[in-house]
Amino acid sequence: MTEKDLLYRVERHVGTITIHRAATRNAITLEAVTLFHAALDQALADVDVRAVCITGAGDKAFCSGADLGSGMQDDAAGRRDRFDSYARLISRLAEFPKPTVARVNGHCLAGGTGFMLACDIVIAKASAQFGTPEVNVGLFPMMIGALIFRNVPRKKAMEMILLGRRLTADQALSMGLVTRVVPDADLDAEVDQVLAELAAKSPIGLKLGKTAFAAAEQMPLTEAVRYLGSQLAVVAATQDAREGIRAFVEKRAPQFKGE
């Protein structure tokens, strides 16, 4: 595994993380997870980055999950380290304070489902397939189950997990696994449009909002509503909020600075 197997670039206020292992259907190794964390570190620290896009190399796969030929024969301690590292990554991605978009450019299977579901918005091409085939090799989609059950009704989730069958993009859409499905040829245009819209929003407003929602998700209803009300006051006090309101009154586009 070299750094070229996971690429990171910044363009037009978007940090793009690409799993660059097309020959293995973008399967993930422990080294790739480490590089993924490093890329998120860069995206978080860079004030020029207003949104993050996650995708895979080529046009066959977004991510096929763990590389079963790499590390699966480790001893018990080694396996735990690998699983813990992946668990920390999808947890971090799910709570990342900048908006995230999954560009699903091909099949999304097993652990790749975790990367996809951890993103805020998921845009998939129509020919992509989805699934959790772990049961077919004697495993079980443990960590990603936490995300599956936050996005998919329980009965449909259990059917997908227990049977290990592949789903079409339209089936994934109907279940709530993805946000939208587009013709293959339109994937880049659709993703670029969504990322451009996100990059035009207030960076601090989105950051404060995402962070507040993540904190409120586990609270009882009354506590969550009160907490979110207090956080709205914080957002309203930002320079960007004042600029946004002025721009609305003056009928012009706001110039957000992330302050």
- What are the residue numbers of the active site? 134
The string of DSSP codes covering the chain is --GGGEEEEEETTEEEEEE--GGGTT-B-HHHHHHHHHHHHHHHH-TT--EEEEEESTTTEEE--B-TTSSTTS-HHHHHHHHHHHHHHHHHHHT-SS-EEEEE-SEEETHHHHHHHHSSEEEEETT-EEE-GGGGGT---HHHHHHHTTTS-HHHHHHHHHH---EEHHHHHHHTS-SEEE-GGGHHHHHHHHHHHHHTS-HHHHHHHHHHHHHHTTS-HHHHHHHHHHHHHHHHTSHHHHHHHHHHHTTS-------
